């Protein structure tokens, strides 16, 4: 495959024509950061694998971590995804502004990530409430076991079973109370895959001066969401009005906006404040403490639920104490190092990457040879 210049690739992304397969493949290789060596290796194992597969799938192919059926299924999915990109990618990118122009490759990478997350979300529909309970149970059960039960052996008897049932009931009690008082504590699964698309569209708008998030039907933001949804799903003419409305009201959106403001503030002092990471830890823990304190005010909680919430608050207090007492400074920036030390670190990183590549290649050869020997 002949190499197309970066300027030509960028020009094609803002043109009026459908992207050709050759141009799109090189655009995606650039956006995905696929190294030429891995590209050639993947094509040598499976024709056209390097052209279509994302980097994680190429690495799995090289290491022989994935079955032939699995890799062929992924290759087919990616071919269909590329076909949709060739049709709709230039149209979607017109909703955004890129300065300098080469930042458009970052946007393509974001769209690629959206497709990956959309596929994962589609496979895990209607599990939100179960996953919420499982997460709460694992965290609170671990605290209970450490602070109350004080487990020191692997023995599990009737007493431990009763404790686990009590904790389970307590977690259910907490989840029920929080679901009543916190928006989106239990996400509705019906349009969750669509919400993922809206969230990515909003992120792209913030990074690359796209249309603002509004709930008005027929807006530019709505049109961008529909195009992005068609690219990742293959479903045409789908309205995302419900998903846009829900995301606009969601805690995820409010959290993202809050964190963005905090990041902007932190960027101005990140190199001057070596304790910034500790301060962020404290800020997060204080928010968690406030959430659990508010939940504790409910008169619907049983005794075990109240105990579990107090344990969680104590755990966050300990995190704050540990962060405040940890010896610093914690970070040394490249700009603070001598040039010779910077070059030395870069060489060590490159050597480590090279060794990892060589091991992956050798592992794949051994596995494929073992499979070949076993089939003869």
Q: How far apart are CA 328 and CA 274, in angstroms?
A: 7
8 Å CB contact between 38 and 58: yes
Q: Got the DSSP string for 98-143?
A: -SSGGGHHHHHHHHHHHHHHHHHHHHTTT-HHHHHHHHHHHHHHHH
Question: Which two tokens mark 179?
Answer: 């679901």
Q: How far apart are CA 168 and CA 280, in angstroms?
A: 31
Tell me what pLDDT residue 190 has: 44
Mean pLDDT of 104-121: 93
- Among 127-131, 204-208, 222-226, 328-332, which stretch is predicted with the lowest mean pLDDT? 328-332
- Among 89-93, 249-253, 341-345, which stretch is predicted with the lowest mean pLDDT? 249-253
What angle is formed at CA 116 by the lines to CA 113 and CA 118, rounded to 5 degrees?
Answer: 105
pLDDT category, 208, cuts 50, 70, 90? Answer: very high
Question: Which two tokens mark 360?
Answer: 């992956």
Tell me what pLDDT residue 344 has: 86
Q: How far apart are CA 311 and CA 147, in angstroms?
A: 8
Q: How far apart are CA 89 and CA 23, in angstroms?
A: 12
Q: How far apart are CA 54 and CA 34, in angstroms?
A: 8
Q: Which residues lie below 8 Å from residue 266, measured CB to CB, with a gap of 6+?
A: 276, 280
Q: Which residues lie below 8 Å from residue 88, measured CB to CB, with a gap of 6+?
A: 227, 230, 231
Higher pLDDT pick, 29 / 345: 29
Is 197 in a helix, a strand, or coil?
helix
Residue environment code for 349-373, b if the CB has 16+ CB neighbours within 10 A, otherwise e: eeeeeeeebeebeeebeeeeeeeee
pLDDT category, 189, cuts 50, 70, 90? Answer: very low
Mean pLDDT of 242-266: 74
Tell me what pLDDT residue 188 has: 45
Going from N- to C-terminal start, the domains of the chain cover 6-94, 127-184+269-331, 335-375
pLDDT category, 81, cuts 50, 70, 90? Answer: very high
How far, CA to CA in Å, does 85 sit from each of 13, 112, 347? 10, 10, 37
Higher pLDDT pick, 126 / 336: 336
Q: What percent of the chain has pLDDT over 90?
A: 49
Question: Which two tokens mark 270?
Answer: 């990140």
**Model pLDDT for residues 324-354, shown as the tens digit of each residue:** 776 555 555 666 677 787 788 888 888 988 8
**Model pLDDT for residues 366-376, shown as the tens digit of each residue:** 998 888 887 65
Residue environment code for 144-154, b if the CB has 16+ CB neighbours within 10 A, otherwise e: beeeeeeeeee
Tell me what pLDDT residue 113 has: 95
Tell me what pLDDT residue 353 has: 85
Q: How far apart are CA 220 and CA 201, in angstroms?
A: 11
Average pLDDT, the chain: 85
145 pLDDT above the threshold of 70: yes
Is the pTM higher than 0.85? The answer reads no
Mean pLDDT of 91-120: 95
Mean pLDDT of 65-86: 94
What sign for the dihedral angle of Cα 183, 189, 195, 200? positive
271 pLDDT above the threshold of 60: no
């Amino acid at each position: 495959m002949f190499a197309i210049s970066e300027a030509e690739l960028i020009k094609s992304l803002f043109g009026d024509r459908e992207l050709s397969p050759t141009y799109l493949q090189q655009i995606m290789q650039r956006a995905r950061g696929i190294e030429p060596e891995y590209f050639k290796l993947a094509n040598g194992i499976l024709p056209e694998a390097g052209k279509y597969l994302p980097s994680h799938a190429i690495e799995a192919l090289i290491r022989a971590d994935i079955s032939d059926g699995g890799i062929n299924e992924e290759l087919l999915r990616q071919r269909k995804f590329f076909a949709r990109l060739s049709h709709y990618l230039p149209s979607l990118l017109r909703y955004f502004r890129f300065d300098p122009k080469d930042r458009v490759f970052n946007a393509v990478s974001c769209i690629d990530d959206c497709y990956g997350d959309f596929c994962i979300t589609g496979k895990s529909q209607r599990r939100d409430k179960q996953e919420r309970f499982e997460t709460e149970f694992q965290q609170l059960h671990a605290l209970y076991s450490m602070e109350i039960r004080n487990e020191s052996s692997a023995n599990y008897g009737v007493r431990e079973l009763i404790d686990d049932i009590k904790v389970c009931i307590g977690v259910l009690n907490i989840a029920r109370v929080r679901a009543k008082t916190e928006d989106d504590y239990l996400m509705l699964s019906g349009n969750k895959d669509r919400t993922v698309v809206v969230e990515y569209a909003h992120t792209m708008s913030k990074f690359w001066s796209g249309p603002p998030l509004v709930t008005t039907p027929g807006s530019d933001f709505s049109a961008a969401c529909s195009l992005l949804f068609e690219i990742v799903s293959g479903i045409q003419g789908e309205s995302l009005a419900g998903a846009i409305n829900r995301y606009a009201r969601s805690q995820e959106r409010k959290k993202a906006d809050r964190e963005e403001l905090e990041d902007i503030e932190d960027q101005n002092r990140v190199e001057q404040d070596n304790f910034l990471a500790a301060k962020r830890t404290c800020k997060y823990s204080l928010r968690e403490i406030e959430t659990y304190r508010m939940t504790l005010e409910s008169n619907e909680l049983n005794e075990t639920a109240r105990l579990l919430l107090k344990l969680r608050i104590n755990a966050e207090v300990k995190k704050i104490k540990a962060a405040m007492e940890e010896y610093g400074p914690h970070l040394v920036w490249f700009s603070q190092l001598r040039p010779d030390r910077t070059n030395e670190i870069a060489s060590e990183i490159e050597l480590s990457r090279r060794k990892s590549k060589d091991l992956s290649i050798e592992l794949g050869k051994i596995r494929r040879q073992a499979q070949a020997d076993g089939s003869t």
